[in-house]
Structures are given as C-alpha cells and as structure tokens.
Structure 1
C-alpha cells in the first residue's frame, strides 16, 4: 500500500523519537522553574498590565481593613496616627491624666476669711478666698472640696449669684453674664488646692497656670528649672532690712519668700523690726544696719538693703540727716548710709549689691517727722549715696504703686498704713524681682 511507505507509522521509530526528545529536553531547560520564580523574579520582571489585582482577588476581611471598618493587626508606625483619624471625644480624661491645667493660684488668695453666699468677705482665720478665676458658662470644674460656697461674678467683678460644690465639683450656672468665680478653701489645705476643668480627679499636684506632662511633674523639684525666669535662680541672697523684711505677724509671706518660691533661690533673712541704717531699734542695742554687717553670710551672690523708714520715724534715737559726704554712722543718717554701702563693697567686691528706698507710709504722706524732714528726703539721701558708689537703686518710695493716700489700697495691701500684708508683699515681690533681673 503506497500510503504506508509515504506516511510511515513513526510512533515507535527511534530515528524520529530521539531527535524530538533531545529538542524537547532543550526547550524545557530554557523554561523557568518554580524555584527560580520564588527566588529570582521581582516586580520589575512582571508585566503589570497582565498581573493586575482587582477586588475579586481580596478577602472580605482585607477589604474591611482597607476601608478602615475593622482592626488591622499591626502596630502603627511612629507618628502614623493623626488627629483626623480620631472621632470627637474618642480620648477620655483618664487617658490624658498626663495633661492638666490648674486654674487656682494659691499665691493670689486673700487670707483670713471666706466669701459667703452673698459674695461678701467674712473674716475667719481658718479660710482663704481665691482670686477671681475666669470660668465658662455651664462648665464643670473639679475643686476637690465638697459643699464649698462658690460665687460668680460678671466681667466687672460684680457679684451675681452663688451655689455649692457637690462631690468636689463646681457647675457654673447657665447665665451668660458669668465671667469669674471665687471659692474659699480651708487655709490648712492651701498648698495642695487645685481647680481643674472636668470631672476627673488628678492624683498629683499641678502648679498653677501651666500645662505639664507626667515626665515633668514627676521631677522632684520642678522649680529648679527656672533659669529662664531669673538670673538669681539657685543663688544666695542676703536681705538686710527692718520689719518689712523680717518674718512677723503682718504677713504670711514676705516679698523675698514670694521671690524664692518663683525662682528657687536661697534667702538669708536679716530683717529686724524697728531698725535702720543708724537706729538700733526702739529699745536701743546694737542692731542698726551699720552694726550688723559682720553677721551677714560672706558667701552671698546678692546683697540688698531695704530700710530708712525707722530712721525717719525717730525709732530709738532722734533723726539727724547730716550732710552728703558724712561717713560716721553714729552721727548722721548720711554717714550711716555711706558707711553701710562702702563696707558692703569691701565685703563683697565681686558680688551684686542693691538698695531699696523706703515705701511711702499712710501717716507720713505729706507730713514731716519731728525734725521737719519728709520721708521723700530720706529716699533722696539713699539714692544720692548709692549713686556715689555706683550701686543700683530701686526707688520704692516713688515706684512701688503703693497708693497710701487711697483707703481702698490701704484696705487691700497695707492695713496698718506702714506694713504690707500678703497682697502688698506679692505686689512688692513682682517689682523687686523685675528690678533684680535687670541689674
């Protein structure tokens, strides 16, 4: 049969199969193995148009994770979560205990009484009254005192109404006129008293007026970080003076105490009542400024002298002004001032010395002493001698904002007309600290 010769059955013909097997083997050798794909093929080797992924290839869980409706089991990258990803009020107060603001300024309280339900100040040594604290209508504050009277005031600080704190919470009434509130904590609890917004109870004391993180609040002595507040932070201060410098019953804290609280300096208090540059006190003795220079700490960085009012007031000995150029401290006021300042320079030639003139006095305003000398002339004599020795002077007689002729000022800051109370000393501290930072 001719077709058999022309179309032979090659299925089993070795002459045909062997070349084909060799050809196929070579072709297969050129193909990529699965192992090659796993280890050698990257995205750059793939035709992305032939390898696109569509949603049909994704699981329902993955689709939800991409849409943001189900959690992704992974840790977000640093700074990977933005505020836009947070729902309103998603972070509770408990989660933000590291942030808080205290609206209560314990240094601005009025001591010796409380505010009653009519907004009136009632004398009582066991309470203090807060300053006027800005507040928001319908706001809730934590004051940590149950049943405390809270008074509310308008923008002019006129009394409007009052209520009681409940469960340590203050709820500001719904009155659009309310701008300030005041309350009266127990004086014995003053140091730890706070007023914070919201209902959360903070476990640690937060200083007034600032936001703090736990890492800062956990520092044992935050006040040591005060070099930006004053050049005198951490320094030693000798304060030579009379009853306004001395610790006595006219105030809870003196000007130097308030400054110490602010800048964390060390204060050596050399104030003695009734003394002055020349006068030793009403009972005599050896406590005049010029007589106690050898009692001063020799290692001080700052030395201030604050006096002259008792010299002018004939306390202990009659006043004698003398003349500029006098140097004998026993004979004249000029001589005593000269002696004190010259010897302080010899004692502290590389340190800072400063002088404060006397404060004005209510009953000395426009009235001379027995020798016909005005208190203003005493201030001028101190300034003149200090200028002679290039010692900076804070003229508190003229620049203290002590309005001693005004009865409202006297009631607020200087009840006896001579000695500042706590309010007066706080005002004085601000003046003195600003001056000390400038020299």
Structure 2
C-alpha cells in the first residue's frame, strides 16, 4: 500500500517515552505494512521555534517517503508558543510555523501524501486549561483548521471527531495516562480513527 511511512510529531509519536507500550503508528504499521517506517517523534517538541521545532526536523523526512502523518500542535498550546495570526510567515508564531512547515514539506516532497492530526480535547492534569497567553487548546485547533484548509492538507481533528476526550475524568481514566498522553487503549482508538480517515 505504501512504500515509506513517516510519522512526525511530539511525545504522542515519540516511541522512546513510557506512556504506552504500543503507539498509534505501530498499529498503522501493522495494518498498512509499508516497506519502511520512520518515526520522527520528539517529546516536548513544538511546531513553532521554541522547542525542537518541527519546521527544522521536517528536513529529516526521507526522499522516498510517500505518506506522512504530522501529529502536532498540543505542545504549542501547552508550552506557550505565540499563536500569531493568519498570514504570519515567521516560525516564531504557531500560524507562521504551520505555514513554513507545510511549505517545506510540500515543496520538498510534491508527490508525498500529507495528513495532519490534531489531538483530542485534553484535561488539566498535565497542561492548564489556559496557557500563559490566556488561550485555550481550541484557539490552536482553529489555527490548524484554517491553515490545513489553506494548503489543502487533509486534517483529522481528534479534538472535534475522536468520539472521546480526556477532559471527562472517566474517559481520561480509560484512554489516557495523564489527561494528555494516550495510554495503550487510547493509542489503539487513535490509530483506528487515522486508519479510517485515510482509507475514506
């Protein structure tokens, strides 16, 4: 089905963390059976410049990648990256960094399928409800929606369409490690959503 699958992301993608024993991309790898899989997940990373920016790390995407998932944005909210506004070109704001990330990925890999995944609605055990700018996760979600639409990149919003969330305690206990990071079952549910979305 795919030759080379690449997963770009933060701690939800980083398989060196201990929040789960099987990540969403492990399930996708089993179901898709690509010839090769590359994981470019780094815990704590942001899209914007502040923390191991994905705008820089996207340069590590191999030339033969034919499908890329970008699972990102929650750290830009939680680690207080400036939101900016539509039309920004600077990697110092979330809007501008998304612009640069998409430009770089699409220019360097014109035949690569790109899918953006934004995280489920989180609870407050790991990040507060509002960041230091007084902004909500939803504000960053809206930026993702607008920028992916502007670039024609398919966007799976788990915030809006996961069918579960981490802000209701019973659901957080079932699907998350700490109301931010998915546990084993959470990763499986997320993998199912990604698989169904891409296949549709």
Answer whether TM exceeds 0.5 for this pair.
yes
Runs ≥4 in structure 1, deviation > 6 angstroms?
A: none
**Residue of structure 2 aligned with 1:250, choices 19, 24, 28:** 19
Q: 5 Å matches for 1:79-94?
A: none
Three-state SS of the structure 2 residue aligned to 1:239 is strand
- Contact preservation (8 Å) 2:49, 2:97: no
> Which ranges in structure 1 are unaligned for 5 or more consecutive residues?
1-232, 282-286
- Tell me by how many angstroms 1:268 deviates: 0.8
- Tell me by how many angstroms 1:302 deviates: 0.6
Q: 5 Å matches for 1:123-272?
A: 233-247=1-15, 248-265=17-34, 266-272=36-42
| TM-score normalised by length of structure 1 | 0.43
- Tell me by how many angstroms 1:407 deviates: 2.3
Q: 5 Å matches for 1:282-293?
A: 287-293=52-58
Q: 5 Å matches for 1:36-115?
A: none
| Corresponding position of 1:309 | 74
> Which ranges in structure 2 are unaligned for 5 or more consecutive residues?
none
Q: 5 Å matches for 1:413-428?
A: 413-428=175-190
- Contact preservation (8 Å) 2:48, 2:94: yes
1:360-386 Cα distance to aligned partner (Å, 9 max, x none): 211189922110111011011011111
| TM-score normalised by length of structure 2 | 0.92
- For the aligned residue pairs, the C-alpha RMSD in angstroms reads 1.7
Looking at structure 2, the residues matched to 291 and 366 of structure 1 have their Cα atoms a distance apart, in angstroms, of 27
1:277-297 Cα distance to aligned partner (Å, 9 max, x none): 01543xxxxx21011121111
Q: 1:280 to 1:370 in 2, by over 3 A?
A: closer
**Normalized per residue, which structure has more helix?**
2
- Contact preservation (8 Å) 1:307, 1:356: yes
1:6-56 Cα distance to aligned partner (Å, 9 max, x none): xxxxxxxxxxxxxxxxxxxxxxxxxxxxxxxxxxxxxxxxxxxxxxxxxxx
Q: How many residues align?
A: 197
Looking at structure 2, the residues matched to 418 and 279 of structure 1 have their Cα atoms a distance apart, in angstroms, of 22
Three-state SS of the structure 1 residue aligned to 2:124 is helix
Looking at structure 2, the residues matched to 405 and 343 of structure 1 have their Cα atoms a distance apart, in angstroms, of 34
- Tell me by how many angstroms 1:402 deviates: 2.8
| Corresponding position of 1:274 | 44
The answer to whether the aligner puts 1:361 opposite 2:122 as a matched pair is yes
Looking at structure 2, the residues matched to 300 and 279 of structure 1 have their Cα atoms a distance apart, in angstroms, of 24
- Contact preservation (8 Å) 2:122, 2:165: no
Looking at structure 2, the residues matched to 334 and 262 of structure 1 have their Cα atoms a distance apart, in angstroms, of 33
Looking at structure 1, the residues matched to 31 and 54 of structure 2 have their Cα atoms a distance apart, in angstroms, of 28
- Contact preservation (8 Å) 1:357, 1:383: no
**Residue of structure 2 aligned with 1:341, choices 102, 108, 113:** 102
- Contact preservation (8 Å) 2:2, 2:67: no
| Corresponding position of 1:435 | 197
